[in-house]
Structure 1
């Protein structure tokens, strides 16, 4: 029996536990036991009650806090696709992702370093599979933050189209980064490597 006051209050990030994540982006910080030039990531929906959609999955070298080492973030694909859906009770392995910063897995640069895995959950996830006693801080955006950021990113004036072009190009201001709040890592238990 634990002390409820020692548990993180996740009501800001997840107002309705039955709905789970809702249009939110996660950045999980993991400490690999071994580094390699390529990695495959396993995502699980072990205790989920509805399909879990993942989009915009990336892996990069953790710098500190929610930040990444510049230029290290790499897209993660699933069967060549940028999005994937995991059925309730299921799990999914990613395609191998190249990690050029780990070209020399035994390099001193990687000693004690962590891998940051970021992903977006476009709709409601339902109850989430998570690790209540994770000893690593991870990050999550507030619900619907991506939708609000897209609404705030209004195009300024259009630029004239280049010669021979029939479309108008817009110069977009970079939308503000969504705020991040601390949360326990949502992780699955360890499993043997895929075949």
Structure 2
């Protein structure tokens, strides 16, 4: 049931955002050197590494670490990068990962391959058994502002209580968070 819902909603969203995504890709290409998409190595279900696409918001040569670990993240942003991150439009290409089955619309956000502390905690708590999501329970309860142990607690709560209704609630809360830019790191 969850996979069918993912396919149906991701397909509709992909069609709906096809024109805006094309314009975003063009804007990235016109304002910075390099490809429009950035393929990030992420940790998925059962700790399998997969390649997740995002619209490139950072300059070429930016270290592959979580943004909060960069000394001056603003220095690495492309001319449109800040806007893409604030609006969460950099996440649109992840619909591809949902369509191919690497991700779900709702689940714990996929860790970077080098976020060993997050991966270890999720594995200890059984969260690694879930498909990662475009959004998740931790996202709507603090997003980028949560410390890793708190994120994992929300992931565990989602693992224990997952349902179609909870997924729909998370999707609605995510839409509100994105519209009001709540909890988005700049």
TM-score normalised by L of structure 2: 0.25
- Structure of higher RCO (CA pairs closer than 8 Å, 6+ residues apart): 1
Q: Greater Rg, structure 1 or structure 2?
A: 1
> Between Structure 1 and Structure 2, which shows a larger proportion of strand residues?
1
TM-score normalised by L of structure 1: 0.24
